[in-house]
Structure 1
Amino acid sequence: MKGLTLSNSKLIRQVHNSYARQQVFEYDEKSSKSEDSYHFVGYIPIEGRLYELDGLKPGPIDHGAITTSDWIEAVRPVIQKRISSYNAGEIHFNLMAVVGDKIMMTESKMKHLNDELTQLTSENSMETADGHAARIALIQTEIEHCHEVIRLENNKRNKFKIENTRRKHNYLPFIIEMIRILAAEEKLMPLVETAKKKMEDKAKTSQSTQG
């Protein structure tokens, strides 16, 4: 049910597909319920055992008891075995962790800190407030840290957004135009010959190192 819920979520599907690389050439491919079909595989600890929830399997797969304090250590070799079944360089899946939103969690923590700070600084007497001076200073420091965490997280998300936009951009028209201009100015072949020589030198260096 959890796999079905994830697969049927339009928001998750959009986010998942937003990281797909831009296809230079479009081609038709028959859809089939195979390992490469769009679906989610989840790993989750339940009552001390590690279960795999595959959207294409009829039921959960029990991977055995979790013998470590951190269940991530138990799932790591299972995921690594799955990854190793593919050739190096192949990308057939994305590895994602379902976690709480860091900004939301930090904002929630900051709200609790501000509530506590308001309570401590609005005591009936200044003497009571002075008695909480150390705690007030600590809360203010933690609030400043929360602001910094949120700032860094926003910067990181903006950076990821820019990187993903560049990664998905179709550079083929630019490349073709650049090659056309280089060819028209008779600069293309010298560059090709230079590149060939570099590859040959690199191959010779590699062979001599292995020898």
Structure 2
Amino acid sequence: MNADGAGGLVLVVEHDRAVAELQRRYLAREGYTVEIETDPARAPSAAGRLRPDVVVLDLSVASLPADLYRRVTEAAGGAPVIAVTAPPDQPAGRALGEYQVTRPFSPRVLVGAVGEALRSGGPGAGGEVLQAGGVMLDPRARTVMVEERSVALTVTEFDLLEFLMGNPGRVFTREQLLDAAWGPGAGAGSRTVDVHIAQLRSKLGESSPIRTVRGVGYVLDA
């Protein structure tokens, strides 16, 4: 845990100041040190500056929630991010991570979610190592090895590769891959998938198991 507090440092990103203060009080009672950011647009810079142990991220007013979640996750350096969403406008999908809280919720629910996230670790924690040919992906550590060589991927590249490696031999359309890695309504176009797949293939080199299925999409050959 972060040395700033007995329970660790929690960054609360919440547009409603009254709600943010309520969350701060309940978390502080449990021994957490809390920093509040009331502008979700500044969440990535706040996460990068503070390096918190966990982030509570308000996505209820974000126009592109999946994109904001992705940027905060990357800036947080592996710290778990709890997505706070407001149904029914924002479907809770894979692109918003494994830790999610839906409005309205009690502060005790949030405290429980923070504790669970800290016990479980960051994104992908607890997932089994995936392998396809010479490519090995560890969801828990969010690392990729190619023939014993470490490969650096962006958050989106990693999410795409993890999804494909978790479903070997299955052909996916570009639209399905958009939903899997970006989330419904993320605002990305199908051309974005082609660009990220090309970047993935370039980084994986000759060991890349990703194959184009002409006129359909992509498949990962196990």
TM-score by length of 2: 0.20
TM-score by length of 1: 0.21
Larger Rg over CA atoms = 1
Considering fraction of residues, name the structure with more strand.
2
Considering fraction of residues, name the structure with more helix.
1
